[in-house]
Copies of this chain bind each other. A is one copy, B any other.
Amino acid sequence: MLSIGAVAAAAGVTPRVVRYYEQSGLLASERTAGGQRRYPESAIERVEFIQHLIRAGLTTEVIRDQLSCVNSRVATPDTIEKLRAQREHIARRAAELNSMEQRIADLIDAAHDSISAEDAASAHSHIATRARG
Please provide the chain A residues from 83 to 133 with a CB less than 8 Å away from any CB of chain B in the complex.
83-84, 86-87, 90-91, 93-94, 96-101, 103-105, 107-108, 110-112, 114-115, 118, 123, 126-127, 130-131, 133
The reply to whether A56 and B87 form a contact with Cβ atoms under 8 Å apart is no
Which of A16-24, A29-37, A66-74 makes up part of the contact surface? A66-74
A53 close to B (CB within 8 Å): yes
What is the minimal beta-carbon distance from A15 to any residue of chain B, in angstroms? 22
Knowing A55-B57, A107-B66, A111-B75, the reply to whether A90 touches B100 (Cβ < 8 A) is yes
A83 touches B107 (CB 8 A): yes
Most central of A56, A99, A133 by chain B CB within 10 Å = A56
Contact status A115-B77, CB under 8 Å: yes
Whether A111 lies near B57 (C-beta < 8 A) is: no
Asked if A61 CB lies within 8 Å of chain B CBs, one says no
Q: Which 8 residue pairs spanning A and B have beta carbons closest together?
A: A75-B111, A94-B97, A77-B126, A87-B104, A90-B101, A83-B108, A52-B96, A52-B100
